[in-house]
Structure 1
Amino acid sequence: MAEMNEITLHQVFESMNCGIIVMDRAGRIQWVNPQARGILKPSGRLCPGEAIGTHLPLTGRLVERCLKTGEPQLDKHLQGKHVDIVVHVTCMKASGKITGAVCSLDKIERFEEAASQLDSVKRLNRQLTAIVDNSSDGIWVCDGNGTVITVNKSSERLNGVKAEEVIGKHVSIMEDKGLVDHNVTPEVIRTGRKISALQYIKRTGKYVLMTATPVFDENGDISMVVSNGRDMTRLNAINEELEQIRMKAQKLEDRLAEIDMLQLKDQDIVAENDKMVQILRVAFKLAKMDASNILILGESGAGKGMLAKFIHKNGNRSKKAFIQINCAALPETLLEAELFGYEGGAFTGARQKGKAGLLELAHGGVLFLDEIGDMPISVQAKLLKYLDDHMVMRVGGTQARMIDCLIVAATNHDLEAKAKEKTFREDLYYRLNSFIIHIPPLRERPEDILKLANSFLKKYNAKYNLDRRLSYRTLEFLRSHPFEGNVRELQNLIRRLVVMGEPDASPATARDDYGEPLPAATAPPPVQYGLDPAQGLTAQLEAVEREILRRAFARFPSTRQMAAQLEVSQPTIVRKLKKYGLAGKDT
């Protein structure tokens, strides 16, 4: 039996990972396993019978102390010339007496590696815990059987539960307690698929979008189910708030458009054409923003002056002066004096006390420079200086004055082309075109012709105390006339018709701009039925209907009057005008 025990002990020592040295009561080596020799080489030539301190003096002191006191010497770090080791020395006892000592040793590197791995694991765990706990979404982790492993803080808030209430229990506890209307984790375990569903949390009254994802091990089995819950209650509320804001914004936009149009009517501004309506809205906005350096482009007679007055009337300076000058109407020297003023005796014929320029007169208000494309180069240079520093010096003067006025300029020239041709200062062009408004000619907005004609007719009837009307044939003429002179030509034509015409405003004595008499008023020819026998009944009826609408369109200024005359509803008139491609009217 003794031999069997000795063999068994020998086998145990030989198979251990650490080094083992066994010593007797005097500290002499009795046995050394191969692992100890490997760790201690080249100082590992240990022979049985030799004192341990002969080759390992530091270890020998620990053995001597242990044998003398009987106290174990544990976790001692010994640093030698060739190796660093960690040593444990313990006593062997028999019948209460110390019979020897056992020294176990290992390289310090193994302990450092283990400690490093342990620190890394701890650090990783801290990071993962921080990520999970600080996630704004609720996170549940269950094992492959559905037992809850982890519940983060956000999930506690969303579900109204504490982690200790559910960890270690099956996830079905949430349904069993009536906390949720349904649970997706068991279905994920059953199907092995990722599942998303909207849950209602009864305890907190929240709607949570729950997404459960399976995690598979190396054998393809579900090892975990990670569930991510996002609070949809606030998102739904935000969507509702956003929708309400959009509705309010749309109402405000519609209201602003309505207000704009009411303002246009109050100011006797006619704009039925979509482009013209947009132009007036832009001008209205610039006026309210007190914007300066506005450049209005358009053909002669298109209404540039009207738009400039519209900007002044609707701006913050409406109670201040609106000063207008035609830059093409005055010679160079006189234009400079008119714009910038002059001191007494500045030139022959000058007033003795001098004269304030138009810029000074427009202080606090608006200066409208019409036909600025014809302004002489020398005056352009002086105007550019004013735009830079807002200082004005009169002709012949020595004292500059600070002048604050908005500049609105207009021209029918292509200023960009003139700038390239060096007939207009390029730097002045770029200073003036901060905001460009291009007015289309009247021929490009036929919807405005009849409305403008009715507006001018009303104006001149009131001015001359008359009650003229436009005949059917006159309206047809207006609709087909090209109006190369734009709004000015139309205005002058209506004024002549009112002043010189008969009550129907279509006399032979009133002639157009080309010297031809306007067509006399005659009754419209009766509608011809059966326009084309080759066509079917529907086509012929539509042709007749279109002709009736066309004539009513030419005769009446609004769709309501057309509806009253034809004895149908106003929406019907609007719908049929659109159907037959006839221009829209005011209601």
Structure 2
Amino acid sequence: MPDDITTFFDRILDVFSDGIYISDRFGKTIKVNDMYEKLTGLKKENLLGRYVKELETEGVYDIAINPLVVKTGKPQTSLQNTSTGRKVILNGHPVFDHNGEVAYVITFVRDVTVLSQLKEQVSYQAELIEKYHREARYLRTRNHTNTIIENPKMRNLMELLKRIAVTDSTVLILGDTGVGKDVFATHIHQYSLRRDEPFFKINCATIPESLIESELFGYEPGAFSGASTKGKPGYFEMADKGTLFLDEIGELPLPMQAKLLRVLQDQEVMRIGSTKVKKVDVRFIAATNRNLEESVQKGTFRSDLYYRLRVAVLELPPLRERKEEIIPFIDFFLDKFNTKYRKKIDFSPEVKKLLQEYRWPGNVREMENLIQGLVVTQDKAMIEIEDLPNYLLNNKEMQEKLQLANVINTEEQSLGEIMEGFEKSVLEKALASHKSVAKVAKALKVDRSTIFRKLKKYGIIQ
């Protein structure tokens, strides 16, 4: 027959990795385990049989949690400082008797310093995980980039990209907002000898000036107020052996431009708060929608950095100069978002013709957002012109194209009918603008009688 468990009670308490302090409803100290002694620096023999309020009064510790647990009958948490200079977290829990009254209070004790260190470690690991998730998102899209090459100039650019990619040189990608500079940066990495190494992207325009140095270079423990006690690697270190894409490089503050130049030249970095230089091996790709030559002349961009970056240059044309790609892009994004939202939406031929004539000031990104919005908000299978957003339909240039499209509808019309429709449209607009037959005749340099006859012919006037 095994011994009664009470014989082993003290040994059982000593198994716990937390400090344990047991007191009764009156505050008398009943049990204390070995870990409690280690965490607080207080000895069992000086505590057992003593009342917690007495110990608090004597300054053995600054707060006793027992009275509050007994009073409320609920678990309580508090911070305690001991006479030995230790700081611990108390978690007090009530133990009830058969009458439902608190009989004992069991207090679990944890070291604040250890908890703080664990919190710092968790925070540091979370930052690393987030950065590697960013890289993983790029890797997952390797074979799913929205690259459509139909335009001759774009074909030549893609061939140039492949030749540049294998050289490991710095690349500068130029082009308007939304033309796909990030997609081409990803392709450069994929075609390079570093394709199996990390690829990181950082947008220089979205990071506050006060944080950009720590993001790029990293920092040592305690380098500044609020810095992690473990320190933090920067993008330069994390992209070692791989590729770092600096998007919106034209927005980089001047002081950081000088530091970036040194990294490009020497491939060396020094964390904030450190005196040690670390060698890195990083391939740099930069992109901007700014005219960097103008920025150099204005003094907002360093000339030496500019010339260092433009070793190999890819200049992407806007979508309006790549009309061959507009319909393929429309079909690509329709397929993408139909799949994502489980829909079967298409554009009518008239909508596609109209969108092919649109200037797309926001380029591919604008088209992607437009099509996503239409797929999300429409429940009809076929999108017609009237379903397009107002900003597009109210565009003056698009209104003129719509009017012309309505007039020149070649389906089942002879040339004479098309010309009559066009003539009617011109006369309607002229009369609305000039308000009288005489002024229309003068503006169009035609006899008044001719204008009057044609207006009656088309039923514009009675």
Range into which the TM-score falls when normalised by the shorter chain: 0.5 to 0.7
CA distance in 1, matches of 2:319, 2:236: 32
Aligned residue in 1 for 2:411:
527
Conservation of the 8 A alpha-carbon contact between 1:296 and 1:411: yes
**Which among 356, 359, 382 is matched to residue 479 of structure 1?**
356
The structure 2 residue matched to 1:269, chosen from 127, 132, 147, is 147
- Residue 200 of structure 2 corresponds to residue 316 of structure 1: no
| Matched residue, 2:222 | 345
User: Which of 422, 429, 437 is residue 314 of structure 2 equivalent to?
Assistant: 437
CA contact (8 A) 1:297 1:412 kept: yes
C-alpha deviation, 1:390, in angstroms: 0.3
Residue number in structure 2 paired with 1:462: 339
Q: Give the CA deviation at 1:510.
A: 4.9
2:211 partner amino acid: L
2:201 match: secondary structure: strand
For residues 533 and 324 of structure 1, the distance between their equivalents in structure 2, rounded to whole angstroms, comes to 57
The one-letter code matched in structure 1 to 2:415 is: L
Match of 1:326 in 2: 203
Provide Cα deviations, 1:37-76, integer angstroms capped at 9, x if missing partner. Answer: xxxxxxxxxxxxxxxxxxxxxxxxxxxxxxxxxxxxxxxx
Percent of counterpart pairs with the same letter?
40
CA deviations on 1:534-570 (whole Å, 9 max, x unpaired) are 99xxxxxxxxxxxxxxxxxxxxxxxxxxxxxxxxxxx
Residue 488 of structure 1 and its aligned partner are, at CA, apart by 0.7
- Take 1:362 and 1:464, find their aligned partners in 2: how far apart are those partners? 35
1:496-554 CA-to-partner distances (Å, cap 9, x unmatched) read 121122211338555154575999xx9x967234313999xxxxxxxxxxxxxxxxxxx
Letter in 1 for 2:248: E
Higher relative contact order (CA 8 A, sep 6+): 2
**Structure with the higher fraction of residues in helix conformation:** 2
Equivalents in 2 of 1:449, 1:265: separation in Å? 21
Question: How far apart are 1:331 and its partner, in Å?
Answer: 1.9
1:503 to 369, 372, 381: 381
* Matched residue, 2:164: 286
Q: 1:305 deviation in Å?
A: 0.7
Q: Give how far 1:466 is off.
A: 1.4
**1:411 matches 2:288:** yes
Are 1:364 and 2:364 an aligned pair? no
The 3 A distance-change label for structure 1 pair 512 and 368 is farther
Change in CA separation of 1:513 and 1:312 when aligned onto 2, cut-off 3 Å: farther
1:296 partner SS:
strand
Partner of 1:306: 183
Change (3 A) 1:465 1:418: same
Q: CA contact under 8 A between 2:220 and 2:232: conserved in structure 1? A: yes
8 Å CA contact retained: 1:500, 1:509: no
In structure 1, what is the Cα distance between the partners aligned to 2:317 and 2:234?
Answer: 33
Matched letter for residue 393 of structure 1: M
Unaligned runs of 5+ in 1: 1-263, 536-587
C-alpha distance in 2 between matches for 1:438 and 1:318: 23
Query: What is the CA–CA distance in structure 2 between the aligned matches of 1:488 and 1:533, rounded to whole Å?
Result: 40
**Aligned to 1:335, which of 189, 200, 212?**
212
8 Å Cα contact 1:498-1:505 kept in structure 2: no
Residue of structure 2 equivalent to 1:126: none
Question: 2: CA distance between counterparts of 1:346 and 1:450?
Answer: 53
Deviation readout 1:238-283 (Å, 9 max, x if unpaired): xxxxxxxxxxxxxxxxxxxxxxxxxx99855201111111111111
SS at match of 2:284: strand
1:266/1:423 CA distance change after superposition, 3 Å: closer
Is 1:355 paired with 2:232? yes
Q: Is the 8 A contact 2:172 2:287 kept in 1?
A: yes
What corresponds to 1:166 in structure 2? none
TM-score by length of 2: 0.54
Aligned residues: 268
Alpha-carbon separation, structure 2, partners of 1:411 and 1:267: 20
Equivalences for residues 88-487 of structure 1 within 5 A: 268-289=146-167, 291-487=168-364
Moved more, 371-380 or 490-499: 490-499
Cα distance in 2 for residues equivalent to 1:265 and 1:445: 23
In structure 2, do the counterparts of structure 1 residues 425 and 525 end up closer, same or farther at CA, with 3 Å as the change threshold?
A: closer
Q: Distance in 2 between matches of 1:451 and 1:533?
A: 33
Does the Cα contact within 8 Å between 2:173 and 2:313 map onto a contact in 1? Answer: yes
Supply the distance in 1 between the matched residues of 2:369 and 2:416 (Cα, whole angstroms).
Answer: 42
Please tell me the root mean square deviation across aligned C-alpha atoms, in Å: 2.7
- Cα deviation digits, residues 370-426 of structure 1 (max 9, x gap): 110010011111111111110010111111111111100000111112112221111
- CA–CA distance in 1 between the matches of 2:418 and 2:227? 82
Distance 1:270 1:334 in 2: 36
Distance 1:402 1:411, change over 3 A: same
Task: Report the CA distance shift for 1:506/1:351 in structure 2 as closer, same or farther (over 3 A).
Answer: farther
Secondary structure in 2 matching 1:368: strand
CA contact (8 A) 2:334 2:345 kept: yes
Amino acid at match of 1:389: D
- The Cα shift of 1:314 comes to 1.8
- TM-superposition CA deviations, 1:153-202 (whole Å, max 9, x none): xxxxxxxxxxxxxxxxxxxxxxxxxxxxxxxxxxxxxxxxxxxxxxxxxx
Structure 2 counterpart of 1:302, one-letter code: V
| 1:488 equivalent in alignment to 2:374 | no
For the residues of structure 2 that align with 1:488 and 1:267, how far apart are their CA atoms?
A: 13
TM-score, normalised to structure 1, is: 0.43
Contact 2:172 2:286 in 1 (8 A): yes
**Distance in 2 of aligned mates of 1:533 and 1:385:** 70
Give distance in 1, aligned partners of 2:175 and 2:390.
23
Contact 1:500-1:510 within 8 A present in 2 as well: no
Shift of 1:453: 0.9
